[in-house]
Amino acid sequence: MAAFADYSELVIAAGEYLNRADLVDVMPRFVAMAEAKINRRLRDRRMLADVTLTPDETGTCSLPADFLEVERVEAQTAPPRLVAAAAGRYAAGFSQPGGPSVYTITGTALTLRPASATPVVLSYFQALPALETALTNWLIQAYPDIYLYAVVFEAATYARDAASAGAAAQLFGDALEAADVDNRRARWSNVGFRSLEATP
């Protein structure tokens, strides 16, 4: 059972941690700021989502509203092919028959080069569903400590409680590191090595 399961319980827990009952009205701001910080630092398998995008004639399409970072881009050619991230002049100068070869991210748009209207499947990390509106999400269920220490840090900073802010920052970092280890074990622990060369 989770330490707390939803937005209301998180707000109560943060107030209890700081022994402050007078911050309830500003807690929504602290939760939103904590989520912004978590979205910048956390990359977990449960944040991955796939969406099919159809570019216009210039090879440009809009990214999802909850987009954080690309995992992979796959052009829906026959057969499907991975599209590489572009670097500098590489995007303008590289061309390969059979569909787009590279992509760039500019603002809220993804652009394929060479320009192509070929649909692509974007695998990406999506932002957390905001707790204030969703009330609960996968992160508060799996890692309530990440949420708690991030919110406590924001509240303690607001309250000019340097000692509590420092402690919360350390605990937040530790919780993120533990979650990262857990994620890597879940995704890669059974990956083995297989030689592609002939063996005697």
pLDDT by residue (tens digit) across 25-80?
999 999 999 999 999 999 999 999 999 999 999 999 999 999 999 999 999 998 89
Where exactly are the structural domains of the chain? 7-45+129-182, 46-126
> pTM (2 decimals)?
0.84
pLDDT by residue (tens digit) across 141-183?
999 999 999 999 999 999 999 999 999 999 999 999 999 999 9
Residues contacting 172, CB < 8 A, separation 6+: 146, 149, 150, 153
Q: What is the pLDDT of residue 112?
A: 95
Helical ranges in 86-192 per DSSP H: 90-93, 131-134, 138-142, 144-158, 162-188
Q: Which of 159, 184, 154, 135 is nearest to 38 (CA)?
A: 154
